């Protein structure tokens, strides 16, 4: 199977931190050291509460942390699965008014570990900013940019990831993979989790937020609509990190969808930004701006026009477009012509630094690593995943067990390719009774949620060097939301000189924290951050 086909199955894996690939039965119950029998799943909720403190913005915040599971049920009341979460509550806060945020990563099949241990939890693992992090021991430090200063935080692991497990017949439940592994069932599961959580902790009157990364942004759009339409829950805000809502815009496998040329135009500004970063442009501007605005205009104008002409494009015009594309992207003009002006992400990652015998990262193209096969057409691994994956895996496993005292010998599933291969991307949009798209598109879901709740605010965060979810594609998608134009004022954009995992860059994390904290303060109804 060609690499780009494999990659299309693993689209938007925020970070491949897999410490195992199978969805095995737990080896032990939480806190236990004695191995359990293969069928000994956690059929009842479990919870361990610990205490901690962290200093954010010069102020010490004391908190309690609940590492726990919550049982999901079907309409007949039968258990279908248990979702694992870690919830942090500021001590002294008013639980009926203090904001609460639900955070998760993507995949599909990815746990919430990156946002938890890399970005917004009270502890974070230290990794290199754009080079390979040396092997263990790794450093876990107090996080001065945790969002606990403005909100209580609930890091939720999607079903089949982390310690979240389906409860099937062997466990006295009615759960099945089909009931969770898809755009719509996943959204319903998260909506049910949120509703139950609000009841369990008495947080119905709290300002509520969704913070999702990568496929987690897709999830947020769908969950927001389910909460709004089915549960009458108005959200205060949604924070999107590295956004994709319409998969037709993905550059990962655009060549599998001939006749749809938009992904190439939307990705070209990111190609240009990456070439600028690696100093491969024949005439390199001193900064990305306003140069990127020029690239965007050319990509959506002459370049997209040329692609849309298809076989009628004259050879002279094709040559001219290839020459300009080479000046913007740093790719050889001959390579661009050979690719028929259409270069997908995996090809760009393989080709850009090939003269240096290097491959660029997909999630963050600032990273690079030795080329695995210089004769290959597509990049065969992601240097950023290779650079930080071990650090995240080790730090999270150690932290959960030694600090949160949860899990015992149970396997924590960072990333499951098995889930990804079973995932149904079919989606039934609002107002329809059956799936109408062959490619996932949740723009109607977010538009519906923002229409029914016109006070819903959205913060879009993008990295210029993200080849997985290009920044300009995210901006384009948000501008296509099928809703009243006046609701566009509820959307804010923030851009960073980093990649997919914005928080990996030390200079970006403070900026990201400031932007999200400001967003929550402004949209939480005037509730004091410490309330």
pLDDT tens readout for residues 493-511: 999 999 999 999 989 999 9
- Residue 315 has a CB neighbour count (10 Å cut-off) of 8
Q: What is the DSSP letter of 214?
A: T
The answer on 139 and 13 residing in a single domain is yes
CA 293 from centre of chain: 26
Domain boundary among 363, 384, 405: 384
Cβ atoms of 342 and 253 closer than 8 Å: no
Gap between the Cα atoms of 82 and 529, Å rounded: 31
Domain with residue 503: its CATH number is: 3.40.50.1820
The answer on 325 and 213 residing in a single domain is no
Residue 528, domain member (yes or no): no
The answer on 136 and 196 residing in a single domain is yes
Residue 55, domain member (yes or no): yes
Per the structure block, which two tokens stand in for 31? 């806190």
pLDDT in tens, 387-400: 888 899 999 999 99
The answer on 274 and 175 residing in a single domain is no
The answer on 377 and 395 residing in a single domain is no
The answer on 402 and 360 residing in a single domain is no
Q: How is the chain split among helix, strand and coil, in percent rounded to 5? A: 40, 20, 45
The answer on 186 and 166 residing in a single domain is yes
Confidence of residue 436 (pLDDT cuts 50, 70, 90): low
Which residues does 199 contact at the CB level (< 8 Å), separation at least 6? none
The predicted pLDDT at position 35 comes to 35
Determine if residue 372 is left, alpha or beta; phi over 0 gives left, psi from -120 to 50 gives alpha, anything else beta. alpha
Residue 254, domain member (yes or no): no
Residue 269, domain member (yes or no): yes
The candidate with the shortest Cα–Cα distance to 329, out of 356, 297, 351, 361, is: 351
Gap between the Cα atoms of 468 and 118, Å rounded: 19
Instruction: Output the CA–CA distances (angstroms, integers) from residue 14 to 23, 55, 393, in the order listed.
Output: 19, 27, 13
Residue 530, domain member (yes or no): no
Domain boundary among 327, 351, 384: 384
Confidence of residue 438 (pLDDT cuts 50, 70, 90): low
The answer on 82 and 7 residing in a single domain is yes
The β-bridge partners of 239 are 211, 459
Residue 529, domain member (yes or no): no
Residue 253, domain member (yes or no): no
pLDDT at residue 28 above 90? no
pLDDT in tens, 96-123: 789 999 999 998 999 999 999 999 999 9
The answer on 453 and 380 residing in a single domain is no
**H or E element that contains 348:** helix 345-351
Q: In the chain, how many domains are there?
A: 2
Cβ atoms of 135 and 141 closer than 8 Å: no
Residue 16, domain member (yes or no): yes
The candidate with the shortest Cα–Cα distance to 70, out of 102, 44, 109, 105, is: 44
Which residues does 469 contact at the CB level (< 8 Å), separation at least 6? 12, 214, 217, 242, 243, 244, 462, 500
Question: Which of 70 and 19 is assigned the larger pLDDT?
Answer: 70
The predicted pLDDT at position 397 comes to 94
User: Is the peptide bond preceding residue 290 cis, with omega within 30 degrees of 0?
Assistant: yes
The answer on 457 and 345 residing in a single domain is no
The answer on 176 and 51 residing in a single domain is yes
Range of the domain at 362: 259-384
To the nearest 10 degrees (0 to 180), the angle between helices 262-277 and 315-329 is: 40
pLDDT in tens, 441-457: 999 999 999 999 999 99
The answer on 425 and 500 residing in a single domain is yes
């Amino acid at each position: 199977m060609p690499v780009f086909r494999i990659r299309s199955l693993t689209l938007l894996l925020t970070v491949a931190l897999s410490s195992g690939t199978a969805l095995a039965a737990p080896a032990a119950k939480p806190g236990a050291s004695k191995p359990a029998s293969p069928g000994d799943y956690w059929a009842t909720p479990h919870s361990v509460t610990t205490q901690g403190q962290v200093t954010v913005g010069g102020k010490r915040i004391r908190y309690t942390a609940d590492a726990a599971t919550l049982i999901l049920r079907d309409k007949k009341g039968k258990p279908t699965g248990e979702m694992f979460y870690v919830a942090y509550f500021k001590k002294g806060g008013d639980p009926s008014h203090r904001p609460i945020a639900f955070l998760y990563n993507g995949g599909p099949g990815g746990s919430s570990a990156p946002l938890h241990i890399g970005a917004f939890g009270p502890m974070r693992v230290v990794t290199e900013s754009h080079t390979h992090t040396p092997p263990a021991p790794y450093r876990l430090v107090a996080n001065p940019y945790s969002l606990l200063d403005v909100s209580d935080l609930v890091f939720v692991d999607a079903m089949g990831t982390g310690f979240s497990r389906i409860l099937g017949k062997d466990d006295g439940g009615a759960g099945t993979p089909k009931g969770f592994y898809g755009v719509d069932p996943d959204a319903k599961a998260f909506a049910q989790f949120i509703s139950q959580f609000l009841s369990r902790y008495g947080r119905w009157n709290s300002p509520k937020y969704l913070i999702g990364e990568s496929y987690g942004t897709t999830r947020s759009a769908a969950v927001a609509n389910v909460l709004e339409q089915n549960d009458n829950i108005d959200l205060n805000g949604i924070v999107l990190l590295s956004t994709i809502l319409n998969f037709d815009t993905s550059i990962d496998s655009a060549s599998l969808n001939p006749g749809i040329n938009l992904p190439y135009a939307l990705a070209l500004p990111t190609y240009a930004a990456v070439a600028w970063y690696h100093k491969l442009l024949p005439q390199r501007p001193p900064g990305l701006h306003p140069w990127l605005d020029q690239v965007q205009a050319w990509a959506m104008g002459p370049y997209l026009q040329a692609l849309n002409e298809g076989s009628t494009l004259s050879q002279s015009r094709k040559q001219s477009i290839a020459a300009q594309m080479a000046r913007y992207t740093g790719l050889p003009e001959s390579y661009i012509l050979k690719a028929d002006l259409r270069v997908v992400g995996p090809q760009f990652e393989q080709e850009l630094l090939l003269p240096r015998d290097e491959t660029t990262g997909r999630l963050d193209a600032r990273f690079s690593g030795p080329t695995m096969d210089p004769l290959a057409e597509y990049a065969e691994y992601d240097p950023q995943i290779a650079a930080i994956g071990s650090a995240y895996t080790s730090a999270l496993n150690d932290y959960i067990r030694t600090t949160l005292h949860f899990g015992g010998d149970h396997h924590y599933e960072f990333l499951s390719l098995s889930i990804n291969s079973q995932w149904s991307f079919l989606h039934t949009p609002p107002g329809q009774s059956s799936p109408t798209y062959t490619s996932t598109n949740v723009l109607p879901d977010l538009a519906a949620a923002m229409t029914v709740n016109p006070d819903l605010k959205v913060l879009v965060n993008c990295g210029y060097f993200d080849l997985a979810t290009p920044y300009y594609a995210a901006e384009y998608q948000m501008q296509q939301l099928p809703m009243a134009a006046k609701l566009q004022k509820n959307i804010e954009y923030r851009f960073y000189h980093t990649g997919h995992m914005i928080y990996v860059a030390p200079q970006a994390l403070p900026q990201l924290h400031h932007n999200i904290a400001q967003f929550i303060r402004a949209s939480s109804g005037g509730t004091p951050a410490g309330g």
